[in-house]
Chains A and B, each alone.
Chain A
Amino acid sequence: MKRQVPLIITFLIGMIMIFSFFIPPLEGLEQTCSLFFDVIAVFAFFLGGGNLMRIHINKLRRRKKDWGFSIVTLGGFIIMLAAGLLKIGNPGGIAASPTTEGALLQEIFTYVFLPLQSTMYALLAFFVASASYRAFRAKNREATILLIAAFVILLGRTPFGMMLTAWIPESFSVLQVPNMAIWIMNSPNLAGQRAIMIGIGLGVISMSLRLILGIERTYLGDESA
């Protein structure tokens, strides 16, 4: 009941998905499964929200470290949820898209969600810089190759690359940095990416097979429960 049923479900659904790829009459079935998945995916969002609530309410109860911030989280969560589910301030009413201009959801998105998320990723710019300063060292042959390639691309992606090597005649134009960058992207990079892609692809394929056949059960979590 706790372990067998899930394994059977995985097996059946997996098989449907595989066979319907080759057997046209099964396409309809496959599509229904996909639609089921989409619906379940939404419940997964709900689960995420539920988990969040639970964790932060616990934090509040136990007065754990930084419990004050849990109030912020819960507050934001509840306000946004109300704005979203009740379509507060949505000019189009219940039928309109939840993200209509002027709806509270859209407002919060524009003025709170957007700056927060994009700034978080903007932090990465700084870390790239500091990584290139302290970590990007020609320690050995491999590192050196990596460094040179990176340098050429960096140069080739900026107009400076063109300025520096514009004097090179057309008959040697591949030596112009931008062209070199393009060539690296189109040939060695493509080759390397393809090798990795095939490798990982095979990994994914065999893992999928193991999952469908029920050999791989880690995703089921702890045995005891």
Chain B
Amino acid sequence: MRRSTIIVMAAVFGLFILSWILRSTSLASVQEHYLIGGLKVTFSAFLTLAILSFLYKDNPFYKFAEHLFVGISAAFWMSMGFWTTIVGNLIPRLSRSLSEFFQVPYQPGSYNFVYFIPVILGIMLLMRLSSKYGWFARWPLAFIVGTFAGLNFVRYLRSDFVEQVSATFVPLLVGWQGVGHFVSNFSLSASGQFVAIVGNWVIFLGVICGIIYFFFSKEHKGAFGAASRVGIWILMITFGASFGYTVMGRISLLVGRITFLFRDWLNLIS
């Protein structure tokens, strides 16, 4: 066991060096820091393969990549937040000298002192790190929750309730010019009238039955039960569609990675 791990490690290390050398030589003509360039590409290829190795089983290489990612992403978000929002939005409102230091335009204003409130709340949030004063963090937490609750309450009522209800107001007979006209040019063409009409019917009945399925305070019996059964069928079509649609997305991610390996690392394709 010990030996085998050592062998694997050695092999991976060897391959890494090899790829570094090859990549650098191929880059030598292109850029002057070709050693660094080679290292960069090789390293990211190594990380890619390390993650993919998880498919075989959880292993030290995967763990290494995983842990590296955790550290880096946390730090990345921190620094971005600091430069864009703290320096970009807070400092210009708090202090002229600091703004000068960070070279951001100072925004004078007579009510700027209120912008100390988020700073204080933010520091309280950081107190969660101490077990003794952790409860201070509830104040900013309450602020966050309050903001979200308030925003969501009205925005959802508007966009996902009122707007959706009114969006369901569809005419059942699209471009209706009498039975004769309907029958005479009846067709199953995708752009035809019949298909459009059926579509609207499905939308209307589908929404109604779907909502009936989500009725909890009434037993699903009789006509109500039938409607809810239709509802679940509609939902199943929905989920089937989502599944089919999603496969494409998942594959794309793989395409992206394999393209990287073949093009940037192995130079197999242009």
Q: Which residues of A contact B (CB under 8 A)?
A: 2-3, 5-7, 9-18, 21, 32-52, 54, 66, 69-70, 72-81, 83-85, 87, 94-95, 97-99, 105, 107-126, 128, 132, 141-143, 145-154, 157, 170-176, 179, 181-202, 204-205, 207-209, 211-212, 219-221, 225
Is B114 part of the binding interface, using a Cβ–Cβ cutoff of 8 Å? Answer: yes
Interface with A: B7-15, B176-184, B237-245, which one? B237-245
A192-B143 contact, Cβ under 8 Å, with A201-B156, A204-B152: no
Tell me, rounded to whole Å, the shortest Cβ–Cβ distance linking A69 to chain B.
Answer: 4
Q: Which residues of B contact A (CB under 8 A)?
A: 40-41, 43-45, 47-48, 51-52, 54-55, 63-86, 89-90, 102-104, 114-115, 117-119, 121-123, 125-126, 128-129, 134-135, 138-154, 156-157, 160-161, 164-165, 167-168, 187-192, 195, 198-200, 202-207, 209-211, 213-214, 231-248, 250-251, 253-254, 256-257, 260
Q: Are B81 and A42 in contact (CB under 8 A)?
A: yes
Q: Are B210 and A122 in contact (CB under 8 A)?
A: no
A17-B254 contact, Cβ under 8 Å, with A42-B81, A192-B206: no
Q: What would 7 A/B residue contacts be, using CB atoms closer than 8 Å?
A: A6-B139, A9-B143, A66-B63, A72-B64, A154-B244, A190-B203, A195-B209
Chain A contacts of B114 at CB under 8 A?
Answer: 32
Chain A contacts of B257 at CB under 8 A?
Answer: 115, 118-119, 122
Tell me, rounded to whole Å, the shortest Cβ–Cβ distance linking A58 to chain B.
Answer: 12
Chain B contacts of A194 at CB under 8 A?
Answer: 164, 167-168, 203, 206-207, 210
Chain B contacts of A172 at CB under 8 A?
Answer: 187-189
Contact pick for B245, options A116, A153, A207, A220, CB 8 Å = A153
Q: Are B243 and A146 in contact (CB under 8 A)?
A: yes
Most buried by B among A94, A122, A220: A122
Q: Are B79 and A5 in contact (CB under 8 A)?
A: no
CA distance A181 to B43 in the complex (A): 42
Contact pick for B67, options A32, A49, A73, A192, CB 8 Å = A73
Q: Are A149 and B236 in contact (CB under 8 A)?
A: yes
Q: Are B188 and A49 in contact (CB under 8 A)?
A: no
Most buried by B among A108, A110, A154, A189: A189
